[in-house]
Amino acid sequence: MSCGGHYKLSDNDYKWIQYSGNETLVFNSNNGEADTIFFLKKDTMTAYSEPENPFGIPFEEVSIFCRHSDAAPPDGKHRYLENPFLELEKSKDRNASLHFSLCAKDATFYKLSGLKIDSLGNQAPKTFQTKYKAYNDVYVVDDDDWLNFKQRSDYITKIYWSKSEGLIRFDKQNGVYWELEKKYRRTD
């Protein structure tokens, strides 16, 4: 460890991830399709914000990895890929941030920048009703509109994040939206 310390996530930071890494999320779209995201593991690691500096200050990162539908399979046939789903990190600016890497059937969330927990926590949560459940702790996260990906058919414009439940809905630009029908934990 360096003399400068270690940027660790706080208990309040951890409250933004309600996943253990063994959940399965089942989504249904408003046009009658279904898709499933399988969480594979939750991993906590230490990283360095300046890898070229061997004396840099390490920061803590929690990642949820998943198996998800390929948003754009090369042959048009359904297949699954394994990638990160979400990362929570506290880096050298001493602020925690969430990084969403949502990919699903014909859907990709193009947000390259992380979402600062302190700015998110300063917003008032919204009440939101899906077809399956009512939530009173929802934060709406918009895409990075400066990216030139809006012409893509898989473009997600916003996600709905419940602080107690995690991802509950995502909207695509073509009027299609996907809502969480159920979430369950595997016992394996």
- For the chain, domain boundaries: 11-185
Taking the C-alpha atoms of residue 11 and residue 13, their distance in angstroms, rounded to an integer, is 5
Residue position matching structure tokens 């009658």: 32
Q: Give DSSP secondary structure letters for 74-119.
A: TTSS--EEEEEEEEEEE-TTS-EEEEE--EETTEE----S-EEHHH
pLDDT bracket for residue 90 (50, 70, 90): confident
| pTM (whole model) above 0.85 | yes
Please write the tens of the pLDDT for every residue from 5-58.
668 899 999 999 989 999 999 999 999 999 999 999 999 988 766 666 666 777
Q: What is the mean pLDDT of the chain?
A: 88
Taking the C-alpha atoms of residue 83 and residue 181, their distance in angstroms, rounded to an integer, is 22
Strands (E), the chain: 23-29, 34-48, 58-69, 80-90, 96-100, 103-104, 107-108, 115-116, 126-129, 134-142, 156-162, 166-172, 177-185
